[in-house]
A and B are shown apart, each in its own frame.
Chain A
Amino acid sequence: MTAYVDGTAVPLEAAAAEAARLLDGARLPLVAGLQTDVAGARAAILLAEKLHGAYDHAASDALLRDVGVLRQAGRMVTTANDVRIRADLVLLVGPRLTVLWPELAERLALAAPPRLSPDKAARKIFWLGGEPAAAAAIGATHIGVGADQLPLAVAGLRAAVAGRKSRLGGALAKSLAELAENLKAAHFGAAVWSAESLDELTIEALSGLVLDLNQKTRFTNLAFGPAQNGVGVLQTSGWMTGFPIRTGFGRGYPEHDIWRFDANRLVDTGEADAALWISAYGAATPNWRRKVPFIALAAPGTTFSYPPKVQIEVGAPGQDHDAIEWARDVASFTATSATTASEAPRVDAVIGLISEHLKGN
C-alpha cells in the first residue's frame, strides 16, 4: 500500500490527515468519480454529508440519462435472466451493445430457444442501429440506422406498430414496417439497450413503443447500465438520500440537481474548491478543466493530468477484497469474493481514516 502527499511517499495515516485538512478547509468539497463498491459509496456519501459537500459519479451522464427518462415517463423493465428464459423476440437498439456488454449474447442465451417457450421455436433477434458485423456475430437481423437517425427510426417504428404513418420513407420505412409486424406477433418480446449508447429521445420513444405493444401482447425493456458498480452506486445513493447521484448537502439536507451538482461544472466554475476523486476499479481520472486541489483514492499506477495533493492507492473491489457490487447478470446486488486478496486498503476504510481526522471529530 502506498500513499503520497505532494508526490512524496508518506504513511497512510499522514496522508489521511492531510486529506482531512484539505477537505476541512474547503468551502464546497466535492466527492467525485465514486467508482467503488457499496461500502465505499456509503462511506463517501456519509462523508459528503458531514462536509456539507456534494457528490457525483464518473458515469453520471449515462446513469442520469436513463433515470431522467424514467422519472419523466416511467417504463416497463425486466432482467437479463427473464429475457433468457422467456423472450421469444429480442430487439437490440443502438450501437456498441456487445462492446458495452461483451457477454450479452451468451447471458441471454440468444442462440437457444427460451426455456419457457411452448413451441421451442428459435428466437427472433433484430438489431436496430447496431454494427452489421456485431449483429451477424449474434445471429441478429441487422437494420442499419445511423446514430443521428435512431430517434426518428424508433419513433417511426412506434408509428408503424400503432398503424400510423411516419415521416420516414424508402427502404428503412419498409424494414421498420416488417419489424413492427414481428414485434406485434411476439409472445413476450424484449427491447435490449443501454443509456450509454442512446440519447434521451430514443429512450423515451422506446419506452412508449414498449407500452404501446403491451396493449395487445407482452413486451418489456432490458436496459443495462455501466459496468463497475455504477448502477450500484446510483442505487446506494437512492436509499441513503432518496436521490440519485449529483446531490449536494450545502443546506444541511440533500438536494438533487443534475446541473448544479455536476462535478465538472462545480470544479470549472470554481464553486468546488477541493475534491475527493475515487476510482478503485481502474485508471479513470477526472476530466474537469480547472486545477482544483484534490485527493485521489485510486487504483495503483493511476496517473493524473495534474498531480493530486494527496494520493492513496486503494484495492479493487472484488479483486483485492470482498465486495458488494451491482451485477448486470442478475440485475441486482451480489457479494463478490476477492479473486486475489491483498492488503491494499478499501475505499471505505480510507474514508473512515480521513473522517477521523476531520475537525469536529
Chain B
Amino acid sequence: MLIRLAGGHVVDPANGRDGVGDIWIRDSRIIEAPHGETPDEVFDVSGKIVMAGAIDIHSHIAGGNVNTARLLLPENHRAHVARPAETPLSTAGWSTFETGCRYAAMGFTTVIEPAVPTHTALHSHLELADIPIVDKGILTVVGEDDFLLNLLREGGNRTAIADYLASALAQTKGLGIKSINPGGSVAFADNARTYDLDDTVPFYGVTSRQITEALQQGVMDIGIAHPLHLHTNNLGIGGNVDTALRTLQAANGKPLHLAHLQFYAYGKEGKRGFSSAAAQLAAAVNTTPNVTIDVGSVMFRQTVTISCDVIRQFASVGTAKPRKSVIFDGEVNGAGVVPYLYKAESFYNAIQWAAGLELFLLITNPAQVFFTTDHPNGAPYTTYPDLFALIMSRDLRNKWLADIPKEAAELTTLASIAREYTFSEIATMTRVAPAKLLGLKDRGHLTPGALADVAVYDDDPADRARAFRHAHLVFKDGDLVVRDGQITHYRTGRALTARPAYDSNIDRRLSRYYDEVYGLSRDLFKVPEHAIGVDHAFEEVACQG
C-alpha cells in the first residue's frame, strides 16, 4: 500500500521541517518520495497540519487501581451518548475501548501507563491489550518492596540493584522504572502520615533520597533509555516547591524524570499560605538540563485521583468529592483512589491550574517539559485539546483568567506571560522529545524509515481545541484509523518493553525469597509472553548499549 499525503503543512522538528510538503507512506513506514510510482491513495491535506503521532509519557489508563476507580464511581460515566456501534464497546464510557478511540481521535498513537506495581502487571497488560489502536507501555513501580529495601539496608550492592531492576522489567514486561514517594508506602504501613526526602524508612534505615539515588544509578546501569521516573515527596502541599527544588538538586547532574511537577509548584505566599511558585521552579528546571519533567496540569472538572502515593492519598480522603475513597495497602506498593472536583471558583484549584500553565510557558526548552495532566489526577486526558489551545493562545488564557478568583490570579505570574506555543514546539514536546525520552527511535518524527504513525489536523486558530480533539486523519502503522475525528476500525496495538540483560543469579535469589516469604512461586507474578492471547502483543525497544 502506497499512500501520499499531499501538500500539507508538515511539522517535523526532528528533521527541521516546518512548511508545505508531502509525506509518503509504504505499508507501515514513512518513505522518501518514490520515483515514477503512482500511489494507491492520495490524501489532499493542503491547509492541514501534518505531524508524527503523539506520544503520552504519563497517563493512568489501565490496571487494578484504574479499574477500582471505575467500580467506585459508576456515576462518573453513567450517561453516555449512543453512537453507531461498528467498533465494539466504543460507546462504553471510561472503558479500555473508549480510551483507545479517544486517544487515537486526538492523534495520539503511543501511550504510557506509568504506575504498575510488580505484583499486578498481568492485570495492567490485560487491560492495555483491550485498548485498541494505540501502542502502549508500562513503567514498573519499585522502591517499597522488602527485597529491594533489604538490598539497600545491606549497603546497596550496585550490581545487585541493577540486576533486580532488570529482572523486575522482565517479570512485568515494563519499558521503564518508576518510583513513587520512595519508601512512603512502607512508612504509611508503619503509621507515618507525612514523609519527606530525608526521612528514614522504618526498619530499613535508608532515606527516600538514598532510595532515589540508588534507583537512578541502577536505571543508568541497566542501560535502558528512560531515566528513573520519579514521583517525589510532599505532593500537593503548600510550600512544597522546596521539596521539588531539593529533588532537582538530588539528581546530582544525572538523568532523572520528575513526574507531574505542577503538583510541587506551590509556595506559601498570600494570606492562605498557598501560592504558585511555578516561576521559581521553572527557572530551576531551566538550569538543570539533566532533568526532564512533565506538567500534570489541572483543568476544572470532576475527576478522580489515582496514585500509588498512598500516604498522600490517605491525607486527601477528607477532601474527596463525592465522599468515598479506596485506600489500598498491599505488599509491594500502596495506592489510593480519591475522587476530586476541580473548580474554577476554588482559590486552590485556580492556583493549581495557573501553575501548570506557567510551567509549560516558563520552561524554555520544549524538549524538557512534557505534556500531561497526569490523567486523571490533574484532569482526564480528554481535556488535552483545551490545554493545547491554552498554551497556544494568550487571548484564550486571559479569558480563562477572568473566571478564576482574583486573589488566586494575583498569586501567579500567568497573566504576565506572552509566550504562545508554535506547532513546531507542540511537535517537539509531544512527539520528538517523548520518543527520545523513552528510546523509541522510529517514532516521534517523519524521517523515511520511521513508523508511519501520522496525525493530520485542521489549522483553525479560532478553535484549536476542536482540531486537536478530532484529528482530520490519523494513521497507525500506515493504516488509516481516524477520518474526520471518527474511528474507522480497530487494530491491535503492541506493548513496548525493554529487556536489558542481567545476571540471572538475582532470579534465583528472588525465587528463594518468594518461596520463603510468601510461600508462593515468583512465577505467579510474571507476565508470560503468551498470556495476552494476541500475536505480537509485545515489541522490544532496544537498550542504549
Q: Which residues of A contact B (CB under 8 A)?
A: 38-39, 42, 45-46, 49-50, 67, 70-79, 81-82, 84-86, 106-107, 109, 115-116, 118, 187-188, 214, 217-218, 220, 234-236, 238-244, 251-254, 256, 322, 324, 327, 329-335
Given contacts A109-B519, A329-B520, contact A240 B119 (CB under 8 A): no
Please report the C-alpha to C-alpha distance between residue A192 and residue B81 in the assembled complex, in whole angstroms: 41
> Contacting A240 at CB < 8 Å: which of B78, B122, B130, B524?
B130
B6 within 8 A of A: no
Determine whether the beta carbon of A252 is less than 8 Å from that of B85.
Answer: yes
Of all chain B residues, the one with the shortest Cβ separation from A188 is B189
Determine whether the beta carbon of A253 is less than 8 Å from that of B324.
Answer: no
Q: Mark B131-159, 1 if CB is under 8 A from A, else 0.
A: 00000000000000010000000000000
A243 to chain B, nearest CB (A): 6
Determine whether the beta carbon of B331 is less than 8 Å from that of A79.
Answer: yes
B528 within 8 A of A: yes
Please report the C-alpha to C-alpha distance between residue A331 and residue B328 in the assembled complex, in whole angstroms: 12
Of all chain B residues, the one with the shortest Cβ separation from A78 is B329
Residues of A within 8 A of B526 (CB): 335
Given contacts A241-B92, A251-B82, contact A82 B331 (CB under 8 A): yes
Determine whether the beta carbon of B94 is less than 8 Å from that of A242.
Answer: yes
Residues of B within 8 A of A116 (CB): 146, 189, 203
Main secondary structure of the interface of B (DSSP, over half): loop
Interface locus among B38-46, B67-75, B251-259, B294-302: B67-75
Which residues of chain B (319-363) have a CB below 8 Å from chain A?
Answer: 320, 323-331
> Contacting A70 at CB < 8 Å: which of B71, B80, B530, B531?
B71
Of all chain B residues, the one with the shortest Cβ separation from A332 is B120
B268 to chain A, nearest CB (A): 27
Residues of B within 8 A of A76 (CB): 326-329
Residues of B within 8 A of A42 (CB): 130
Given contacts A46-B89, A49-B85, A239-B67, contact A335 B528 (CB under 8 A): yes
Please report the C-alpha to C-alpha distance between residue A20 and residue B30 in the assembled complex, in whole angstroms: 44
Please report the C-alpha to C-alpha distance between residue A238 and residue B519 in the assembled complex, in whole angstroms: 30
Given contacts A74-B320, A74-B326, A242-B92, contact A218 B130 (CB under 8 A): no
Determine whether the beta carbon of A49 is less than 8 Å from that of B517.
Answer: no
Determine whether the beta carbon of A82 is less than 8 Å from that of B89.
Answer: no
> Contacting A242 at CB < 8 Å: which of B62, B85, B95, B525?
B95
B509 within 8 A of A: no
Residues of A within 8 A of B517 (CB): 85, 115
B533 within 8 A of A: yes
Across the A-B interface, how many residue pairs have beta carbons closer than 8 Å?
A: 175
Of all chain B residues, the one with the shortest Cβ separation from A211 is B317
Please report the C-alpha to C-alpha distance between residue A77 and residue B327 in the assembled complex, in whole angstroms: 6
Determine whether the beta carbon of B146 is less than 8 Å from that of A39.
Answer: no
Please report the C-alpha to C-alpha distance between residue A106 and residue B64 in the assembled complex, in whole angstroms: 25
Main secondary structure of the interface of A (DSSP, over half): mixed
Given contacts A49-B85, A49-B88, contact A330 B524 (CB under 8 A): yes
Residues of B within 8 A of A220 (CB): 327, 329
Residues of A within 8 A of B93 (CB): 242, 253-254
B430 within 8 A of A: no
Please report the C-alpha to C-alpha distance between residue A187 and residue B331 in the assembled complex, in whole angstroms: 16
> Contacting B123 at CB < 8 Å: which of A45, A74, A332?
A332
B508 within 8 A of A: no
Residues of B within 8 A of A244 (CB): 71
Given contacts A49-B85, A333-B126, contact A86 B189 (CB under 8 A): yes
- 18 sample A-B contacts, Cβ–Cβ < 8 Å, listed by A number: A49-B85, A71-B73, A74-B324, A74-B326, A75-B326, A79-B329, A81-B520, A235-B67, A235-B123, A239-B126, A240-B89, A252-B82, A253-B82, A253-B92, A254-B80, A256-B74, A335-B122, A335-B526
Determine whether the beta carbon of A239 is less than 8 Å from that of B91.
Answer: no
Determine whether the beta carbon of B524 is less than 8 Å from that of A334.
Answer: yes
Residues of B within 8 A of A86 (CB): 189, 329, 331
Please report the C-alpha to C-alpha distance between residue A322 and residue B85 in the assembled complex, in whole angstroms: 32
Of all chain A residues, the one with the shortest Cβ separation from B88 is A46
Given contacts A82-B330, A254-B91, A335-B528, contact A330 B520 (CB under 8 A): yes
B489 within 8 A of A: no
Please report the C-alpha to C-alpha distance between residue A85 and residue B77 in the assembled complex, in whole angstroms: 37
Q: Add 11 more A-B contacts to A116-B146, A218-B189, A242-B92 (CB < 8 A).
A: A45-B89, A74-B326, A76-B326, A79-B331, A84-B519, A85-B146, A188-B189, A188-B190, A239-B62, A239-B66, A335-B531
Determine whether the beta carbon of A252 is less than 8 Å from that of B62.
Answer: no
Which residues of chain B (274-331) have a CB below 8 Å from chain A?
Answer: 314, 317, 320, 323-331
Of all chain B residues, the one with the shortest Cβ separation from A214 is B314
Please report the C-alpha to C-alpha distance between residue A90 and residue B249 in the assembled complex, in whole angstroms: 43
Determine whether the beta carbon of A242 is less than 8 Å from that of B77.
Answer: yes
Given contacts A46-B89, A70-B326, A72-B324, contact A241 B95 (CB under 8 A): yes
Q: Mark B47-85, 1 if CB is under 8 A from A, else 0.
A: 000000000000000101011001111100110111101
